[in-house]
Structure 1
């Protein structure tokens, strides 16, 4: 599979930003899943995915990666 030139020649900061953005998007999806579970009508239909934990962990990891990316862009490396 041939990668586009934008990804092949991207800096490390840009790669970190793309991963961070993906994790932040996953965090949003997990937050919406947790909100849906909190507003369920049947109290017994809990589900098996720990949406709150998944949302918190991906939010933290995405924010760290975005901070590293911004630091790399500001440093010019």
Structure 2
């Protein structure tokens, strides 16, 4: 089964679960970026992206979407 067929015939719970996983991946990426920013060698190059806020928002949304999708995914 290809990705296109899976997405065409996936249930709403599967789609919401995929969005939840995508948000958690974004949270992990932003956590790694924040750690890199904190360990920078030049103190005057701080950056402008609020990685902590992006991490918190995407982690909360991702966990919420996975919680909503869990019942539908487990039911089949």
What's the TM-score once normalised by structure 2's chain length?
0.88
Q: Deviations over 1:27-74 (max 9, x none)?
A: 100000000011111221110110111011101100000000102234
Number of corresponding residues = 74
1:33-48 aligned within 5 A:
33-48=33-48
- Larger helix percent: 2
The reply on whether 1:72 has 2:72 as its aligned counterpart is yes
Name structure 1 gaps, 5 residues minimum. Answer: none
The equivalent of 2:53 in structure 1 is 53
The equivalent of 2:9 in structure 1 is 9
Name structure 2 gaps, 5 residues minimum. Answer: none
- Give me the CA root mean square deviation: 1.5
